[in-house]
Structure 1
Amino acid sequence: MNKDNCFQLGHIAKVHGLQGELLLVLDVDFPEDYEGISHVFVEKNNRLVPYILEHLVPQPNNRFLAKFEEFDHIDQVKPFVGAGIYLPLKELPELEEGQYYFHDLVGCTVIDEKMGELGKIKVIYDLDTQDLIGMEYQGKEVLIPIQDGIIQKVDRTAKQVFCQLPEGLLDIYLND
């Protein structure tokens, strides 16, 4: 499986017990949408390797206890700790009108209501404190917070993100 055809569901936080169970942390808004999955792809040496789940038990705070088939001892699963877990993009839940996934934004054109077209989104920074759009503007990377007051509308079909940038945001990046 290719990473370009997948999204990162979360990561493996630690081993649990001696029987080969792992604690998965899901980085999603609605972890209950993934309770019925039967497999995941684990990042190993920059490749995605499929593993069949023997069980997946929900825990508080976006965590799940998981056990992969054919792994019955703590020593077999210790190397998985810290690895990213992925699913194919086709397994993402359908979105309602006006909703979007962060990976949908990459390649979209940012349009400010006052300044017009600004540039294309190159990357999304999914940080603990705040999510940011990374866009190139006049040869410099500009970071735009992903917030309701700033992001006005996303048109996934036209690949456009309409925003209302705070006064002076672009100046911060353009002044040396």
Structure 2
Amino acid sequence: MRKEECFYVGTIVNKFSFKGELLVKLDTDEPELFLEMESVFIEIGKNLVPFFIEHSQLHKSLLLRVKFEDVDDEPMADSLMKRELYLPLDVLPKLEGTQFYYHEVIGFEMIDTEYGSVGTITGVNDTTSQALFEVDHDGSEVLIPINDEFIEELDRDKKTITVTTPEGLIDLYISE
């Protein structure tokens, strides 16, 4: 399995017991979706290695307590600390309407209802308090906040997102 064919689930952040149980900090708003996983891929070096799950349960808010098969003691658990977990993209539920996964819209054309074509979405920056579309406009980067109120239409067939941005936002980046 290649990393490009997967999505990031979370990171192993701590050991839970001396029997090899681990705590995973999930990158999700809905941690209960990850309770039924049978296996995950763990990034070790440059490879994604499959690990099968014996059992898991939610632990506090966004932590998942996991027991992997063949990880039965502290040294084995230590070897997995700070590793990232991934799942194949095809296990994600399909979204409809204007809901989307960040990875899904990369390469889409962004169209503003007033401005017209803004450019191609090259990425999403979710490291800030407000997630941002990163849009390439003829070599210049335009940052558009990801806000449900801005998104008018998402056309998966045409690979376009139509937005209505606040007046003057696009002009901050683009001078004609």
Contact 2:20–2:74 (CA<8 Å) still a contact in 1? yes
Instruction: Provide the residue aligned with 2:41 in structure 1.
Output: 41
Instruction: Provide the residue aligned with 2:140 in structure 1.
Output: 140
Instruction: Provide the residue aligned with 2:65 in structure 1.
Output: 65
Tell me the CA shift for residue 121 of structure 1.
0.5
Tell me the CA shift for residue 54 of structure 1.
1.2
Instruction: Provide the residue aligned with 1:85 in structure 2.
Output: 85
Distance 2:70 2:166 in 1: 53
Distance 2:80 2:132 in 1: 29
Tell me the CA shift for residue 149 of structure 1.
2.0
Q: Structure 1 residue 122 and structure 2 residue 122: aligned?
A: yes
Tell me the CA shift for residue 128 of structure 1.
5.3
Deviation per CA, 1:134-176: give whole Å up to 9, x if none: 111132111111011222221122211111122222333347x
Instruction: Provide the residue aligned with 1:18 in structure 2.
Output: 18
Name the % identity: 37
Partner-residue secondary structure (3-state), 1:4: helix
Q: TM-score, normalised by structure 1?
A: 0.91
Partner-residue secondary structure (3-state), 2:171: helix
Partner-residue secondary structure (3-state), 2:79: helix
Contact 1:20–1:74 (CA<8 Å) still a contact in 2? yes
Number of residue pairs the alignment of both structures matches:
175
Distance 1:148 1:119 in 2: 19
Distance 1:155 1:127 in 2: 26
Deviation per CA, 1:62-119: give whole Å up to 9, x if none: 2110011111111112132222110001111232433211111101000000111111
Distance 1:60 1:94, change over 3 A: farther
Partner-residue secondary structure (3-state), 1:86: strand
Distance 2:128 2:42 in 1: 22
Which AA in structure 1 matches 2:43? E
Distance 2:53 2:92 in 1: 18
Partner-residue secondary structure (3-state), 1:111: strand
Contact 1:104–1:156 (CA<8 Å) still a contact in 2? no
5+ long unaligned stretches in structure 1: none
* Root-mean-square deviation over aligned CA pairs: 1.6
Which AA in structure 2 matches 1:51? F
Partner-residue secondary structure (3-state), 1:80: coil
Instruction: Provide the residue aligned with 2:53 in structure 1.
Output: 53
Instruction: Provide the residue aligned with 2:156 in structure 1.
Output: 156
Distance 2:134 2:83 in 1: 25
Distance 1:120 1:72 in 2: 48
5+ long unaligned stretches in structure 2: none
Distance 2:65 2:85 in 1: 13
